[in-house]
A and B are shown apart, each in its own frame.
Chain A
Amino acid sequence: MTDVHRTIDAVWKLQAARIIAGLTRMVHDVGLAEELAQDALVSALEQWPASGVPDNPGAWLTAVAKRRAVDHIRRSRRLEHGQGRLACELERQDREHGSGGDTEQDDVLRLMFVSCHPVLPTEARVALTLRLLGGLTTEEIARAFLVGESQIVRRIAAAKRTLAEERVPFELPGGPELAARLSSVLEVVYLIFNEGYSATSGDDLTRPELCLEALRLGRLLAGLAPHEAEVHGLVALMELQASRSAARTGPSGEPVLLHEQNRGRWDRLLIRRGFTAMLRAREIGGPPGPYVLQAAIAVCHAQARSAEETDWARIAALYGALARLLPTPVVQLNRAVALGMAHGPAAGLALVDSLTGDPALRDYHLLPSVRGDLLARLGRLEEARLEFERAASLAGNVAEHAFLHRRAAEIPVPAASGPTLGQAAREFLERGGLDAGTVRSYGQTLRRLRLAVGDRTPLASLTADHVARAFNAAWGEAAAATWNRHRSAVRSFGAWASMEHLAAGLDRRAETRPRTRGIGPAQLEVLWDRLDLPLRERTLWRLLHESAAGVTAVLSLNVEDLDLDDRRARAGGSWVSWRSGTARLLPDLVAGRTRGPLFLTDRRPGPSRVPAQADLCPETGRRRLSYERAEYLFKQATRSLDPAGDGYTLRRLRYPT
């Protein structure tokens, strides 16, 4: 990169959020706004090397991008209505919103809500937020998350498409929606921070640039939504955690545990900022939310001048409160650590032991690591060593892996007492006579068992209880056939090792085809009565229910395939037929159309998105409704009916109740 390019990059990163937010207000489409902003950036890259960097580069970029937006709106309006009074209108709009700081800031906040919208999968929210609010390039995002750039490009493109299709409005959510939407934004920011703070993969323990990015997003959010206690809680939490980043790694990149850190290396400036944010959160008041509670825990650590002075009883109590709000196994695990410090290792171990069967923690290296620590403090060294080894084999991060390995190695190995589980498993698989498929299948079972119990556990000490725990965590919820396959692998291994009792805790499961349950008649009645929902949705649902045809087949129907009189339509090689409920709705949905997709999106695709000809309505220019979109709408509409609160899948309409 030349100097000018680096300058352009810097200006862009500082201004991207404001520029894109301003453009989105004008064109009402985040994807388009970003494309227009990119155009302005390209102009800068073309012109600045020759003309020099303008005096006010940020204003230059903003002005060029706005001009592009006006041109774009003119072009598209000309297509629709002829020239019109667009220029005046835009100027008036611009004057009304003015360049007043508040509106500009509100626009940035709106942009944040859009890029963290719950219609998007979490990964897409993260990528889009870094792109739109942080001004990062797709290459930078890919590097930060150690994935290929093309994957990020696809992820962002899909996110923009979804936002356009869902017609996510550029607005500040209000009322009851606000809390949910805000928590989605906070989640994205904290995810970015955590990926930077404790990299889940790769060679380095942290990726400071991601922490910085998240901190900036958090501080920005606190400035934009100053009356939300949780926002300040999150900022406090991040500032306080970031204050320890220099002390968290040793000279050769190894992690240094909190109680061994040199507190002199904690960043006092960030600690003070964290305390200030915490004070703001407290001033706003209300019952503390999860971020405020986590920040309060971080405050306890920051206030302790030495590890010994840490108020573990208070921390344990705060984790207790947090566990009531967020009863996740990871929170419980942290609570166990605090309990172990406040009330002795036995108290901690009791809680940890209750978590070992939790499938969510199956591959979580910190579970055996915490357990090993508590066992070591109880003097149960041999067990502790095995736990550290198991933790090391689960850690995805190189620095952590080495650290856990060393902790295991520090505990002396007792005299050899027969083969270990790892040795026995290898011998079992490598003896002759097994075909490749069996070796692979048995290998899977034993690998899981070795991860769960520890490779170096002496085979003789392996019990049926170990095996049963490992099975329940790994395949407790799996299909019966899967369970049985692994069970027979263990039985075979047990027979070979003369330890037939190993599978004693594993019952053979009856294999029946899982049946997708239909939706109850009362609930269907509620659904059919929802006249407030769009006609398209009601027709699609009725048709699925009455025809019992596949969702894809029904969505692929074209108007010309319909035989309204005979209540049937040709779909591929077969027929989809319906009854009176659908028949009443269909004519209105067809509404005089003679051909093209039966179920259409609400609006025409953007200029950069050209669907296949067969998926475009020749009369309206709109495209075929996608499975994802249809599924999403149905889930939304049935969320209140579903006892689990998730909403139903469309497939369930096809099944009898």
Chain B
Amino acid sequence: MRYLMTTKASGTAPDEKLYAAMAEFVEELTTAGVLLATGGLEPGGIRVTSSGDGITVTDGPFAEAKEAVAGFALVEVRSREEAIEVARRFRRIVGDGESVIQQVFGS
């Protein structure tokens, strides 16, 4: 089963050490066949809203930037608990903040 883990932006800037630890973590999970895809997301982005017949396109940044998703990882695991364990290891590396994991249906 697949899970999408999304991570919100944290206030602190990552340092060298964090980059190295992350690179090692990503490499390990990729080699283990767990991590299928991962990426960081531009802050803000473009918002497309539909209402009735009208579609509005708005450029970011938006007011609630802190709630915005800053990165994602798509993992393939055997169980919910494995997804949690992967997230747990990730959070241990990045420090304070919040990630959300959701099962991806239909895959």
B92 in contact with A7 (CB, 8 Å): no
Please name all residues of chain A whose beta carbon is closer than 8 Å to the beta carbon of B17 when the two chains form the complex: none
Interface flag for B69 (CB, 8 Å): no
Which of B33, B74, B85 interacts with A219 by CB under 8 Å?
B33
B79 in contact with A246 (CB, 8 Å): no
Which of A7, A212, A224 interacts with B31 by CB under 8 Å?
A224
Please name all residues of chain B whose beta carbon is closer than 8 Å to the beta carbon of A7 when the two chains form the complex: 81, 84-85
Interface flag for B42 (CB, 8 Å): no
Which among A10-18, A410-418, A534-542 touches the partner chain? A10-18
Closest to A215 in B: B33
Nearest 5 A-B pairs (CB), nearest first? Answer: A219-B33, A223-B31, A10-B81, A216-B33, A10-B82
Closest to B2 in A: A269
- Could you tell me the distance in whole angstroms from the C-beta of B58 to the nearest C-beta in chain A? 29
Which of A55, A219, A269 interacts with B32 by CB under 8 Å?
A219
Which of B33, B37, B80 interacts with A269 by CB under 8 Å?
B37
Closest to A219 in B: B33
- Could you tell me the distance in whole angstroms from the C-beta of B82 to the nearest C-beta in chain A? 4
Which residues A1-58 have CB closer than 8 A to chain B? 6-7, 9-11, 13-14, 55-58
Interface centre among A10, A216, A224, A267 (most CB of B within 10 A): A10
Interface flag for B36 (CB, 8 Å): yes
* Contact A209/B37 with A57-B85, A223-B30, A246-B106 known, Cβ cut-off 8 Å: no
B85 in contact with A14 (CB, 8 Å): yes
> Contact residues of B with A, CB < 8 Å?
24, 27-28, 30-34, 36-37, 74, 76, 78-82, 84-86, 89, 92, 106-107
Interface flag for A181 (CB, 8 Å): no
B36 in contact with A269 (CB, 8 Å): yes
Number of interchain pairs (Cβ within 8 Å): 59
Please name all residues of chain A whose beta carbon is closer than 8 Å to the beta carbon of B106 when the two chains form the complex: 246
A212 in contact with B30 (CB, 8 Å): no
Please name all residues of chain A whose beta carbon is closer than 8 Å to the beta carbon of B92 when the two chains form the complex: 55-56
Interface centre among B24, B36, B80, B85 (most CB of A within 10 A): B85
- Could you tell me the distance in whole angstroms from the C-beta of A235 to the nearest C-beta in chain B? 9
21 pairs, A vs B, C-beta closer than 8 Å: A6-B81, A9-B79, A9-B81, A10-B82, A10-B85, A13-B82, A14-B34, A14-B82, A58-B89, A101-B27, A101-B28, A212-B78, A215-B33, A216-B33, A217-B33, A218-B33, A219-B30, A219-B33, A220-B32, A246-B107, A267-B107
Closest to B85 in A: A10
Which residues A219-242 have CB closer than 8 A to chain B? 219-220, 223-224
B31 in contact with A10 (CB, 8 Å): no
Closest to A55 in B: B92
Which range contains the number of A residues in contact with the other chain?
Answer: 20 to 34
List 13 additional contacts besides A6-B80, A209-B78, A219-B32; criterion CB under 8 Å: A11-B85, A13-B78, A14-B86, A57-B85, A216-B32, A216-B34, A217-B33, A218-B33, A220-B32, A223-B30, A224-B31, A269-B36, A269-B37
Please name all residues of chain B whose beta carbon is closer than 8 Å to the beta carbon of A456 when the two chains form the complex: none
Please name all residues of chain B whose beta carbon is closer than 8 Å to the beta carbon of A212 when the two chains form the complex: 76, 78
Taken together as a complex, chains A and B put the C-alpha atoms of A219 and B88 apart, in Å, by 23
Please name all residues of chain B whose beta carbon is closer than 8 Å to the beta carbon of A57 when the two chains form the complex: 85
Taken together as a complex, chains A and B put the C-alpha atoms of A215 and B76 apart, in Å, by 10
Please name all residues of chain B whose beta carbon is closer than 8 Å to the beta carbon of A269 when the two chains form the complex: 36-37, 74
Interface flag for A273 (CB, 8 Å): yes
Interface flag for A556 (CB, 8 Å): no
Taken together as a complex, chains A and B put the C-alpha atoms of A9 and B77 apart, in Å, by 13
Which residues A163-218 have CB closer than 8 A to chain B? 209, 212, 215-218
B33 in contact with A220 (CB, 8 Å): yes
A10 in contact with B33 (CB, 8 Å): no
Please name all residues of chain A whose beta carbon is closer than 8 Å to the beta carbon of B37 when the two chains form the complex: 269
- Could you tell me the distance in whole angstroms from the C-beta of B15 to the nearest C-beta in chain A? 21
Interface flag for A577 (CB, 8 Å): no
B36 in contact with A6 (CB, 8 Å): no
A10 in contact with B24 (CB, 8 Å): no
B79 in contact with A6 (CB, 8 Å): yes
Interface flag for A601 (CB, 8 Å): no
Taken together as a complex, chains A and B put the C-alpha atoms of A273 and B107 apart, in Å, by 15
Please name all residues of chain B whose beta carbon is closer than 8 Å to the beta carbon of A58 when the two chains form the complex: 89
Which residues A97-120 have CB closer than 8 A to chain B? 101, 105
Please name all residues of chain B whose beta carbon is closer than 8 Å to the beta carbon of A223 when the two chains form the complex: 30-32
- Could you tell me the distance in whole angstroms from the C-beta of A141 to the nearest C-beta in chain B? 13
Which of B24, B30, B32, B36 interacts with A14 by CB under 8 Å?
B32
Please name all residues of chain A whose beta carbon is closer than 8 Å to the beta carbon of B31 when the two chains form the complex: 105, 219-220, 223-224
- Could you tell me the distance in whole angstroms from the C-beta of B79 to the nearest C-beta in chain A? 6
Please name all residues of chain B whose beta carbon is closer than 8 Å to the beta carbon of A209 when the two chains form the complex: 78
Which of A13, A217, A246, A273 interacts with B36 by CB under 8 Å?
A273
Taken together as a complex, chains A and B put the C-alpha atoms of A101 and B89 apart, in Å, by 17
